[in-house]
Structure 1
Amino acid sequence: MLLAIDLQSEEPIYTQICNQIIEGMAKRELLPGDKLPSVRSLGADIGINFHTVNKAYQILKQEGLIQIHRQKGVVIHPDGVAKADELFFKKLQTKLRPLIAESVVRDVSEEKWLEISKTIFDEMHGRRVD
């Protein structure tokens, strides 16, 4: 899986790494047990400080998405990811709230919001998006 890091983005690099790994998992490009590059290797490959990669990996580990082993390295959680629970739904609401608020301020209709959401959801599931 190639990561496309935008060094000019306002989004922190570690967040871009996290988001792209999660998207790879959602699209089944990364499967349980798949090995990820080491912190130093990924940092060198994309030309960033390894501490930035380490921060991304630590966040993914805390979220239960990856495991970090001294011998095996970094792998997508071999047991898969825990299903969404109330804590996840609370986090989801917290993250969506500012996006929805800005959409309302910018006069985005509920229909358009749902259309965009469905398009992204379909893309993650590998369904054809027209």
Structure 2
Amino acid sequence: MLLKIDVASTVPLYQQIHDQIILGLASGQLQPDEALPAVRQLADELAVNMLTVAKGYNLLKAEGYLISDRRQGTRVAANFQADAVFMQALQEQLHQLTAAAKIRGLDVKDVQELVAAQYQSFEGE
């Protein structure tokens, strides 16, 4: 999977790395147990600081998407579960997004259709 970062974006680089790996998992571009580049290698490829890549990887590890060990390096985790921590984070993010949607005049059906379309976009990939 080729990561693309936008240095002009207001989104922090580590967050862009995090988000693109999540999108790669959802789209099937990354598979369970697939090896990822070492922090140093990815930092060189993206022309960013190693600490930036490490921060993105560490966030993904804390969320259960990646695992690391000294022998095999960083890999995609084999199992993903919607545990209580994930469900709480999802609920908080959805709460914020639905509040913004309501303020902007979207109704429940509009939001449901948007969510369904986004979800289905990952089903077909």
TM-score normalised to structure 1 length: 0.88
Task: Specify the alignment match of 1:88 in structure 2.
Answer: 86
Amino acid at match of 1:59: L
Shift in Å, 1:114: 1.4
Shift in Å, 1:97: 1.5
Task: Specify the alignment match of 2:45 in structure 1.
Answer: 45
TM-score normalised to structure 2 length: 0.91
Shift in Å, 1:17: 0.9
- Please list the CA deviations of residues 57-113 of structure 1 after superposition, one character each: whole Å capped at 9, or x if unmatched: 111111111111112111001x322x2133322111111211111111111222221
Q: 1:114 aligns with which of 112, 119, 122?
A: 112
Amino acid at match of 1:37: P
Sequence identity, in percent? 35
Task: Specify the alignment match of 2:56 in structure 1.
Answer: 56
How many residues align structurally?
125
Amino acid at match of 1:103: A
User: What is the DSSP-based 3-state SS (H/G/I as helix, E as strand, rest coil) of the residue aligned with 2:106?
Assistant: coil
Task: Specify the alignment match of 1:32 in structure 2.
Answer: 32
Task: Specify the alignment match of 1:17 in structure 2.
Answer: 17
Shift in Å, 1:124: 1.2
Matched, 1:97 2:78: no
* Distance of 1:71 and 1:15 partners within structure 2: 26
Moved over 3 A (4+): none
User: What is the DSSP-based 3-state SS (H/G/I as helix, E as strand, rest coil) of the residue aligned with 1:93?
Assistant: helix
Shift in Å, 1:15: 1.2
* Distance of 1:32 and 1:54 partners within structure 2: 20
Structural RMSD (CA): 1.4
* Distance of 1:5 and 1:59 partners within structure 2: 17
Give unpaired runs (5+ residues) of structure 1. none
Amino acid at match of 1:43: A
